[in-house]
């Protein structure tokens, strides 16, 4: 695949940016408001800080390979099927539509949403354009896909077993999907629920289907094997970049132990000695980093232990996580923000789920459920802390946040989520909002996987430098922090740079993405002052 020449669809009349044949150079002044307050927080001194930056965007779209950990699961097979169906422009029948459905990427921000560009010069009404038209982004149809799974089903058999897609589409995809088989993965029984052991017949550390021959004492060999898989995949397909994404079952949390997984060197040494707290997902993360691949953790376990973060900084590679933000949690990050911003005080949030896919089966084990509980429960923390009128240090957070997940095989991939938000109103009044949400889980998760890959690849082509306006000294270009918090829109428990608080509010996350794309092409951040309507 030859690198594509980018022809900008949006031409901005500005001196802030200039295009070369391969790059876009943009100047931007970042304005921040710095606040000093007294101890009682009744008096505030505020100053505006300006910092000048220069951004450089590589406009060449590379050839990208995607490797899924858990390719044979519901999410993995749905991802592979969606790429094939869209690439082949398939049409298929469904039980709920009389005509033919076109393959699409509905649910994907990068492929199926729009952004406000500005207002029409004549009518002054808003003008919207596709999200991915502002700057060059990889088309998911062009992804080269491979991956690993602990079960040896080919992708067609796994797709049939998952019962996610329509029968007509499945049959049209059968010739290609039946030829795709996952690479051998890693299975350490202590990290997954024991109910997964029967599935684990496609593992590099398991010689047959007997639990007695699972080798957990040669984790260095496992790491070397996965590194070779990534290297071979990249070479054989002549790829410019590889993205590794964990979409396999949830692991238990790993203990963070000084001298074991707290630094890069300790982590690498612990892999050599096959320490019991080294999880399969951490092996994949380390293998990706050492091979220069991007790693995304789509499950809630703490794969990205301090040693992994340290290693990614040292090797200058990108990592992101944790846990796809799909249905219930995404709605929570909107609804909780709405209540608190409205001055209404949530007292309790009760979340109940039941689902029947293998993810639900695995989560029926207490340790694996605990990983999911942690990622789901942190989603409203920053919103609570944003309002000291409702929640202050003396009374505490005061939000009871209960999360229940039950496995019910009959419902399959149709996850049922029920939430109750119980809040306090003025003068002792109360408000109860109950939400009942039924969603096809993998058809929500797959577009998020696509968005994460498209955006992480795009941002990996951007570098920046601070420009000291006082003496015109220009520093060297740098890449973004290795822990890419720009992807937090799609993640329940977003990883951020040490010392910073994660932002979970969905609207804030989306606004940051839009405004970042705008500044790169020389536009100011979007606002809704609408002077043309309100002042004239």
Domain limits, the chain: 17-61+444-508, 64-92+134-321, 328-441
d(CA 158, CA 232): 24
| Averaged pLDDT for residues 77-106 | 95
State pLDDT tens for residues 29-53.
999 999 998 887 889 999 999 999 9
Confidence at residue 405, expressed as pLDDT on a 0 to 100 scale: 83
| Averaged pLDDT for residues 267-282 | 96
Q: Give the residue among 340, 342, 429 at the shortest CA–CA distance from 391.
A: 340
* pLDDT bracket for residue 364 (50, 70, 90): low
| Averaged pLDDT for residues 56-61 | 96
Confidence at residue 382, expressed as pLDDT on a 0 to 100 scale: 83
Structural domain 64-92+134-321, CATH architecture: 3-Layer(aba) Sandwich (3.40)
d(CA 371, CA 383): 22
* pLDDT bracket for residue 103 (50, 70, 90): very high
Residue 209 or 12, more confident: 12
Is CATH 3.30.160.270 the classification given to domain 17-61+444-508?
Answer: no
Q: How far apart are the first and last CA of the chain?
A: 53
| Averaged pLDDT for residues 342-365 | 81
| Averaged pLDDT for residues 133-137 | 95
Confidence at residue 362, expressed as pLDDT on a 0 to 100 scale: 66
Confidence at residue 111, expressed as pLDDT on a 0 to 100 scale: 97
* pLDDT bracket for residue 171 (50, 70, 90): very high
- Answer yes or no: is pLDDT of 208 > 50: yes
Confidence at residue 1, expressed as pLDDT on a 0 to 100 scale: 45
CA atoms within 13 A on the CB side of 317: 23
DSSP state string for 41-96: S--EEEEEEEEEEEEEEE-PBPPEEEEEETTTSHHHHHHHHHHHHHHTT-EEEETT
pLDDT more than 90, % of the chain? 62
Quick check: helix, strand or coil at residue 316? coil
- Answer yes or no: is pLDDT of 370 > 80: no
| Averaged pLDDT for residues 430-444 | 91
The CATH number of 328-441 is which of 3.30.360.10, 3.40.50.1980, 3.40.50.300, 3.40.47.10?
3.30.360.10
Residues 6+ apart with CB under 8 A from 409: 356, 361
State the burial class of residue 259 (Cβ atoms within 10 Å of its Cβ: 0-12, 13-18, 19+): exposed
| Averaged pLDDT for residues 193-201 | 80
The residues that are catalytic are 323, 372, 415, 492
| Averaged pLDDT for residues 145-155 | 96
State pLDDT tens for residues 303-320.
999 999 999 999 999 999
- Answer yes or no: is pLDDT of 394 > 50: yes
8 A C-beta contact, residue 42 and residue 166: no
Q: Is the peptide bond before 243 cis (omega within 30 degrees of 0)?
A: no
- Answer yes or no: is pLDDT of 371 > 80: no
d(CA 502, CA 507): 14
* pLDDT bracket for residue 474 (50, 70, 90): low
| Averaged pLDDT for residues 104-114 | 96
Q: What is the pTM of this model?
A: 0.91
Question: In CATH terms, are 17-61+444-508 and 64-92+134-321 the same topology?
Answer: no
For residues 314, 315, 316, 320, the Cα torsion angle rounded to the nearest 10 degrees is -90
Residue 423 or 398, more confident: 423
| Averaged pLDDT for residues 151-173 | 95
């Amino acid at each position: 695949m030859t690198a594509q020449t980018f022809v900008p669809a949006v031409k901005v009349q500005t001196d802030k940016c200039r295009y070369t044949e391969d790059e876009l150079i943009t100047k931007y002044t970042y304005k921040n408001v710095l606040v000093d307050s007294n101890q009682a927080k009744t008096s505030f001194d505020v100053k505006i800080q300006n910092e000048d930056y220069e951004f450089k965007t590589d406009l060449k779209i590379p050839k990208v390979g995607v490797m899924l950990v858990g390719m044979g699961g519901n999410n993995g097979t749905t991802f592979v099927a969606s790429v094939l169906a869209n690439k082949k422009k398939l049409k298929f029948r469904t039980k709920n539509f009389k005509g033919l459905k076109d393959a699409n990427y509905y649910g994907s921000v990068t492929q199926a949403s729009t952004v406000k560009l500005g207002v029409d010069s004549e009518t002054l009404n808003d003008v919207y354009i596709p999200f991915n038209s502002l700057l060059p982004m990889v088309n998911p149809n062009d992804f080269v896909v491979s991956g690993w799974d602990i079960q040896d089903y080919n992708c067609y058999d796994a797709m049939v077993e998952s019962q996610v897609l329509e029968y007509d589409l499945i049959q049209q995809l059968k010739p290609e999907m039946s030829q795709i088989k996952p690479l051998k993965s890693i299975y350490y029984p202590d990290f997954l629920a024991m109910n997964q052991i029967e599935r684990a017949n496609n593992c590099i550390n398991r010689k047959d289907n007997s639990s007695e021959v699972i080798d957990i004492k040669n984790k260095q060999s496992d790491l070397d094997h996965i590194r070779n898989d990534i290297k071979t995949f990249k070479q054989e397909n002549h790829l410019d970049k590889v993205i590794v994404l964990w979409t396999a079952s949830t692991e238990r949390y790993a203990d963070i132990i000084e001298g074991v997984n707290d630094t890069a060197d300790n982590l690498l040494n612990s892999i050599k000695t096959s320490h019991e707290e080294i999880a399969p997902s951490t092996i994949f993360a380390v293998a990706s980093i050492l091979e220069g691949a991007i790693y995304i953790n789509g499950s809630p376990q703490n794969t990205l232990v301090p040693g992994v973060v340290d290693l990614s900084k040292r090797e200058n590679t990108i990592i992101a996580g944790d846990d796809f933000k799909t249905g219930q949690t995404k709605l929570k990050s909107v609804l909780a923000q709405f209540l608190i911003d409205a001055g209404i005080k949530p007292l309790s949030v009760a979340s109940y789920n039941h689902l029947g896919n293998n993810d639900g089966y695995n989560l029926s084990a207490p340790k694996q459920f605990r990983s999911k509980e942690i990622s789901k429960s942190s989603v409203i923390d920053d919103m609570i802390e944003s309002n000291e009128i409702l929640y202050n240090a003396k009374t505490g957070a005061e939000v009871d946040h209960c999360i229940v997940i039950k496995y019910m095989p009959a419902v399959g991939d149709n996850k049922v989520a029920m939430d109750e938000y119980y809040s306090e109103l003025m003068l002792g009044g109360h408000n109860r909002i109950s939400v009942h949400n039924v969603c096809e889980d993998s058809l929500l998760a797959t577009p998020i996987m696509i968005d994460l890959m498209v955006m992480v690849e795009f941002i990996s082509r951007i570098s920046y430098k601070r420009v000291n306006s006082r003496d015109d000294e220009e520093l060297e270009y740098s890449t973004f922090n290795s822990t890419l918090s720009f992807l937090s829109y799609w993640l329940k428990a977003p990883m951020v740079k040490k010392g910073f608080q994660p932002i979970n509010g969905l609207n804030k996350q989306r606004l940051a993405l839009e405004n970042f794309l705008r500044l790169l092409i020389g536009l100011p951040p979007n606002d809704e002052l609408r002077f043309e309507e309100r002042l004239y």
